[in-house]
């Protein structure tokens, strides 16, 4: 009795970082405080983000063969439904610490939802610039309901990013795109979680690439854990872009990026140079996948594994399947699923291959007949 009592009252600062706590996950700043640029003075603005599941996906592993193990890091289970919450708890907490009263971002949707939620929780205004007509419905709904000031521009994400960069230099608003260094600091914790669960780094990390912040953040996380000897190796970083928005693959800017995966509809990635450095350091590659390949992986994840992600996220799995000949025997692979499928119900309904029989008479005979009995 005495023993369990003393364990219960152990101060939080003495608990080691890493695996989920028996007394509940407190959000990634508290859980990984020792690895993050925060101090006692930093007001922690959190929705208890992080600690998302690493789920085995045997149907996808079977498509590859070679005795591989494949997992998905399902970051769509964060509080606003995407990995952006990891970066936003840090960016908003640090903005609050610095006395900011307003934040601004450009977004293909997820950043705007996360910025809105965390800024409002921290008592700040949130201005979000989005490309008019190219943001999935769920993301727009979130930004509006969280109370952001949503400004839809007649231009794409790249143009919106140029404008918010300039705005943050001229007006009292803090930029919370991934150019803000605290964003990547928060996002690197996803790599910590992967290692904490697997016991080491995977052989490959497959990840969708848009503005190229997240691939950079994961690499930072793996390298930091490696330095601390919490993992013995570093993964090959495999970045995947949509064919119509693939500047990291072709090496040139896309003036008019186009893809069904609107989250990664980006032609001029702000973190391009850092992502190239990651590619070289990890001996990874960038590859492009078509919209059809993205949709195939999107459906396979849902109907073969029970996992509903958004189209951009499925690019990581589509990419893995595309380059499966390069996968080494017995490899352990993690694909990052960056956002929740509920963000984009329009694409799901439009591209589902499931039967949807409507207008059935409300009686058992008719229903049984429709069931094929």
Strands (E), 8-154: 54-56, 69-74, 102-106, 125-131, 149-153
347 binds ligand F0G (CB under 6 A): no
**Neighbour-count burial of 172, counting CB atoms closer than 10 A to its CB (0-12 exposed, 13-18 middle, 19+ buried):** exposed
Question: Which residue in the set 27, 138, 186, 213 belongs to the binding site for ligand F0G (CB under 6 A)?
Answer: 213
316 binds ligand F0G (CB under 6 A): no
Q: 281 or 361, CB closer to ligand F0G?
A: 281
| Piece of the chain touching ligand F0G by CB under 6 A; list 4-12, 32-40, 103-111, 225-233 | 103-111
Q: What is the distance of C-alpha 167 from the center of its chain? A: 26
129 binds ligand F0G (CB under 6 A): no
Read off φ and ψ for residue 94, nearest 5 degrees. -70, -35
Question: Which residue in the set 78, 89, 93, 111 belongs to the binding site for ligand F0G (CB under 6 A)?
Answer: 111
211 binds ligand F0G (CB under 6 A): yes
82 binds ligand F0G (CB under 6 A): yes
354/109 Cα distance (integer angstroms):
27
Q: 68 or 176, CB closer to ligand F0G?
A: 176
110/337 Cα distance (integer angstroms):
13
Q: 70 or 88, CB closer to ligand F0G?
A: 88
Return the residues of window 282-311 that contact ligand F0G according to CB under 6 A.
310
Taking the complex as a whole, the smallest distance from the CB of residue 222 to ligand F0G amounts, in Å, to 16
* 66's tokens: 């070679």
Taking the complex as a whole, the smallest distance from the CB of residue 298 to ligand F0G amounts, in Å, to 12
CA-based nearest residue to 201, from 175, 227, 162: 227
| Piece of the chain touching ligand F0G by CB under 6 A; list 35-43, 48-56, 206-214, 228-236 | 206-214
209 binds ligand F0G (CB under 6 A): yes
66/354 Cα distance (integer angstroms):
31
CA-based nearest residue to 325, from 62, 64, 61: 64
80/2 Cα distance (integer angstroms):
41
Instruction: Give the count of residues interacting with ligand F0G (CB under 6 A).
Output: 22
Return the residues of window 149-178 that contact ligand F0G according to CB under 6 A.
178
87 binds ligand F0G (CB under 6 A): no
| Piece of the chain touching ligand F0G by CB under 6 A; list 15-23, 31-39, 105-113, 326-334 | 105-113
CA-based nearest residue to 130, from 176, 103, 161: 161
78 binds ligand F0G (CB under 6 A): no
212 binds ligand F0G (CB under 6 A): yes
Return the residues of window 257-276 that contact ligand F0G according to CB under 6 A.
263-264
Taking the complex as a whole, the smallest distance from the CB of residue 235 to ligand F0G amounts, in Å, to 17
Q: At what angle do helices 84-97 and 110-121 cross, to 10 degrees?
A: 40
142 binds ligand F0G (CB under 6 A): no
User: Is the separation of the CB atoms in 90 and 161 below 8 Å?
Assistant: no
Work out the number of other CB atoms within 10 angstroms of the CB of residue 226.
17
13/165 Cα distance (integer angstroms):
37
State the residues that interact with ligand F0G by CB under 6 A: 82, 84, 107-111, 178, 208-214, 263-264, 310, 312-313, 338-339
């Amino acid at each position: 009795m005495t023993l369990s009592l003393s364990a219960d009252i152990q101060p939080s600062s003495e608990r080691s970082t890493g695996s989920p706590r028996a007394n509940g996950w407190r959000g990634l700043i508290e859980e990984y405080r020792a690895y993050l640029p925060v101090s006692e003075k930093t007001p922690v603005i959190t929705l208890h983000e992080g600690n998302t599941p690493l789920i085995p996906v045997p149907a996808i592993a079977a498509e590859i063969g070679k005795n591989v193990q494949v997992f998905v890091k399902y970051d769509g289970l964060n509080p606003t439904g995407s990995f952006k919450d990891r970066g936003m708890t840090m960016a908003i907490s640090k903005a609050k610490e610095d006395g900011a009263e307003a934040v601004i971002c450009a977004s293909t949707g997820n950043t705007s939802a996360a910025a809105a939620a965390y800024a409002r929780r921290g008592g700040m205004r949130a201005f979000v610039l989005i490309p008019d007509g190219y943001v999935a419905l769920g993301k727009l709904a979130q930004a509006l309901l969280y109370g952001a000031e949503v400004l839809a521009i007649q231009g794409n994400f790249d143009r919106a990013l140029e404008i918010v960069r300039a705005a943050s230099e001229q007006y009292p608003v803090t930029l919370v795109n991934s150019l803000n260094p605290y964003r990547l600091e928060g996002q690197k914790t996803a790599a910590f979680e992967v290692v904490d669960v697997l016991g080491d780094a995977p052989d490959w990390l497959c990840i969708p690439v848009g503005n190229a912040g997240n691939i950079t953040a994961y690499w930072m996380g793996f390298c930091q854990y490696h330095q601390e000897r919490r993992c013995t190796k570093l993964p090959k970083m495999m970045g995947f872009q949509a064919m119509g928005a693939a500047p990291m693959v072709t090496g040139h800017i896309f003036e008019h990026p186009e893809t069904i995966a609107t989250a990664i509809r980006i032609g001029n990635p702000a973190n391009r140079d850092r992502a190239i450095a990651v590619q070289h350091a990890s001996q990874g590659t960038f590859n492009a996948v078509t919209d059809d390949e993205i949709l195939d992986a999107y459906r396979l994840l849902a109907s073969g594994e029970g996992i509903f992600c958004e189209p951009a996220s499925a690019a990581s799995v589509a990419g893995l399947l595309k380059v499966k000949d390069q996968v080494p025997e017995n490899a352990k692979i993690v694909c990052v699923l960056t956002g929740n499928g509920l963000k984009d119900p329009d694409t799901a309904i439009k591209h589902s291959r499931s039967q949807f029989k409507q207008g059935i008479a409300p009686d058992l005979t008719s229903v049984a007949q429709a069931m094929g009995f």
